[in-house]
Chains A and B, each alone.
Chain A
Amino acid sequence: MTIIFQTDKLTKSFYGITAVNEVSIEVKKGEISGLIGQNGAGKSTLMNLIGGVVHPDEGQMRFHDSAYAPRNPSDAYNAGIAFIHQELNLFTNLSIAENIFVDNFPTRGFGPFQFIDRKKLNDNVRDILQQVGLDIDPKTTVEEISPGERQLVEIAKALYLDAELIIFDEPTTSLTARETGRLFEIMKQLRDEGKAIIFISHILKDVIALADTVAVMRDGVLMAQEAVENFDINRMINLMVGRQLEQLYPPKTTQPTEIPLLTVKDISAKGIVKDINFMLHRGEVLGLFGLMGSGRTELARIIYGLDDYDRGNIVIGEKHSRKHSARDSIKNGVAFVTENRREEGLLMSINIADNIALVRLPRFTNTPLQIVDGKRLSGAAQRAASVLQLKSGDINTQTAKALSGGNQQKVVIAKWLLSEPRVFLMDEPTRGIDVGAKYEIYAIIDQLAASGSGVLVISSELEELIGICDRILVMNQGEIVGEFLPDEFSEDLILRAAFREHEQVGAPA
């Protein structure tokens, strides 16, 4: 088979962190190339490089025997590379046919009066839909069709654009079993017609069943790219895990108690999570591990009171609450350090002191006029900042924007410290911050536990959870599928649980 696409020592760093490191992969015509790796291994960055979303620092790409350097996503499309994303790019208010031809409607008319040729449009689309086995009227609005059918519409669009390389980025996450089966049939059919396909998935069984070659990435490096026959699930996981724990984590200074701070009982929300049960204790650092889309963040949002749930019970301390709001949670001593600190946690153009004081602003007011007492506020903020060893200029004038990622995260934590919470929900607290700052965050988490709080840490970096947690829960598809105590901590076992491959080694949960 001929190589249709290849990268040569492709490298890309963000803020000093190398996301893709000298990666050279090959994709052949008429083959499905599987691509696997943990979250943060660099798969998405690699795909963004191919798709023209970001640009390489070093290295080249070749497509069809000529240099390929897309400046933006439409360059990639025009060159013949199509993406089927997990999050689809369809206009839900338009029909299937309109979606496929949205930038290039067939028209007829005279002079400047050009009208859409509906008949031609729908006939063309009917043909394309037939190729992907979608037997739906092209006039149907996209919002009326299921996620699986939407995916097929995206594929139909790729076919219409005559794409030679089609990249499927975790295409099955929102599909039913039947839809997944149909998708795989179509992928095989496309391969047999000579298209090149890159298939990214967290479901290793699917990769083995479908792919002709498999590429494994870890920490931005391509660990292997070989024929699928050379892999079994064990080897895949070993290649994805790697790396030994070094002095990356501060020593633990405390032990968890038996006193529950947060009890989650039988929580279910349709389509999101199912039968979630666990307790968070005083002094405990509890890890919640799962792959992207496993429902970790969604669960945290439910516990904090941002989203609804259908069944179950959440008990914070002694307080039962059927439906609670985020405000109730703050009052009950729950803090939520969010995944996107830039978007949700911090007001970037406001000074650090105000950011810290935000949650507890009412506390710094003078009765009865409720005017904020600036002096008291900045004093308290200053104390919180120094407890966390925040490295910044004057906290009353410097804006949050000007801080490094790690220090921004400290501001978020400092903000919550003022309300003296007992339960911390931390979603990816170390995402995008450098190793040194990570260490400090870990130390802060340890201190919080030592001072009697309970900390729930959500992370996609398994080793960090192993490094700092007293216990780790594993989620998959909205369910808790495993619970591990320190003597059972092993990246291998936990990762198997997260991939639901644990039946092969005996279920640990």
Chain B
Amino acid sequence: MKQLYENRYYNFVINNATAILFVIIFAFFALTARNFFSTDNVLSIIKNASFVGMLAVGMTFVLLTAGIDLSVGSNMYLSAVVAGLLMRAFEIPVGMGLLIAVGVGALYGAFNAFCVVKLKIIPFMVTLATLVMGRGIGTFLTESEQVDFPERVNAFGQLRFIEIPMPVIVFLLILIAAVIILRFTPLGRQIYAVGNDPEAAKKAGINTDLVISSVYIISGICAGLAGFILASQVMRVDRSFGEQYEFDAIAAAVLAGTSLFGGRGSAIGAVFGAILLQMVETGLVFRNVNLYLQPMVKAVVIFIAVFVDSLRTANLARLRRRFIRSDEDET
């Protein structure tokens, strides 16, 4: 009897589930919603997806090591708040403000890394705590009032490069950097190795503490960037800025086949995941679906993706099972 996990078509479907889902959903909205398939709308979907997309790229690094970063939404908020406050107080240029946001994001990530690597607290708890902490610091600094970004940031926010909006450009740059790091540098390959088998990684002489620290810092940098870029679009940072973005970021990464168990996934996948989520959201609006139903539809999409991830993992476990007998020999 042929087992399901040995079936080629089944494997093709579960290994490419997101791509298939992507095509189906896109085709559905393109055919049923008027004006959905237009340059303007597609560009706007990508632009709106770019903030979650940046977070998702950073999140992919963390998930690859079988960790998780729940604090990215709060990190976005805190980075944008600090940059906004300093820019208002000291008339510093926009570029400097951007660097400050990135710096805050990186420090935030470094603190997560310190807790995970040195204090040996599990990533879920560390980043849950820093999720609360980051927003707490932000509301303390602002006394819970919204921070209006200075007008000169607006010019930066509305920049275009051959019709491509600035957030999409930044998103692309982050993506390219991520792909290069993950594919072409020793660090990138070691991230995959640590996620695959941390014990073996240690035995192979990899500095696992350094590798794990780097992923939280990278995730922090992405969050800082995403925070500043989003703020440059909406021009103000209020208390709910970036709230619950961590969920969309994790969902986007997992949608694209990044495993929560580590060692599997890609930055490009995260992009597709983020665009897919945004596409569903926009498509539902175009179709005039009841506003209150929309989160449920989104939930179903995420659920399907996570379910497929578990099928995929179960498959891998079967393929990795240690055999005692070599039954394939007896033919």
Contact = CB atoms under 8 A, between A and B. Distances in A.
Interface in B257-296: 263-264
Contacts of A336: none
Contacts of B322: 87, 174
A107 B185 CA distance: 8
B200 A115 contact: no
Interface of B is mostly: helix
Interface in B69-113: none
Interface stretch (B25-33, B162-170, B187-195): B187-195
Contacts of A478: 324-325
A177 B203 CA distance: 30
Interface string A263-301: 000000011111000000000000000000111001000
B206 A103 contact: yes
Contacts of B192: 91, 93-94
A227 interface: no
Contacts of A270: 327
Interface residues of A, number: 40
A92 B320 contact: yes
Nearest to A115: B184
A382 interface: no
B196 interface: yes
Contact of B329 (A93, A114, A177): A177
B193 A94 contact: yes
B196 A176 contact: no
Interface in A92-124: 92-94, 98, 102-105, 107, 114-116, 118
Interface residues of B, number: 32
Contacts of B200: 89-91
A102 B329 contact: no
A74 B204 CA distance: 7
Nearest to A180: B326
B145 interface: no
B205 A74 contact: yes
Given A89-B203, A310-B1, A94 B327 contact: no
Contact of B324 (A77, A103, A271): A271
A91 B193 contact: yes
Interface string B180-216: 1000111001101101110011011110000000000
A73 B204 CA distance: 9
A105 B201 CA distance: 14
B321 interface: yes
A118 B319 CA distance: 28
Contact of B189 (A98, A175, A298): A98
B324 A298 contact: yes
B9 interface: no
B323 interface: yes
Interface string B33-66: 0000000000000000000000000000000000
A477 interface: yes
Contacts of B1: 310
A250 to B, nearest CB: 33
A173 B204 contact: no
A103 B189 contact: no
A74 B186 contact: no
Interface in A25-81: 73-74, 77
B197 to A, nearest CB: 6
B326 A271 contact: yes
A116 B329 contact: no
A95 to B, nearest CB: 9
B325 A92 contact: no
A102 B186 CA distance: 8
Contacts of A93: 192-193, 195-196, 263-264
Contacts of A273: 324-325
A272 B185 contact: no
Contact of A174 (B190, B196, B319, B323): B323
A275 to B, nearest CB: 11
Contacts of B206: 102-103
Contacts of B321: 271
Nearest to B262: A93
Given A114-B186, A116-B185, A143-B319, A274 B325 contact: yes
- Residue among A93, A295, A478 with the highest chain B CB neighbour number at 10 A: A93
Given A89-B197, A271-B326, A310-B1, A103 B205 contact: yes
A270 B6 CA distance: 13
Contact of A176 (B189, B264, B329): B329
Contacts of A317: none
A358 B190 CA distance: 42
19 contacts: A77-B205, A89-B204, A91-B200, A92-B196, A93-B264, A94-B189, A94-B192, A102-B189, A104-B205, A115-B180, A115-B184, A176-B328, A177-B329, A272-B323, A272-B325, A295-B325, A477-B325, A478-B325, A479-B325
Interface of A: 73-74, 77, 87, 89-94, 98, 102-105, 107, 114-116, 118, 143, 147, 173-177, 270-274, 293-295, 298, 310, 477-479
Given A74-B203, A173-B324, 15 more contacts: A89-B197, A89-B200, A91-B200, A93-B193, A93-B264, A102-B189, A102-B201, A102-B206, A103-B204, A115-B184, A174-B322, A272-B323, A295-B325, A477-B324, A477-B325
Interface of B: 1, 180, 184-186, 189-190, 192-193, 195-197, 200-201, 203-206, 263-264, 316, 319-329
A-B CB proximity, top 7 nearest:
A271-B323, A103-B205, A105-B186, A91-B196, A89-B200, A478-B325, A176-B326
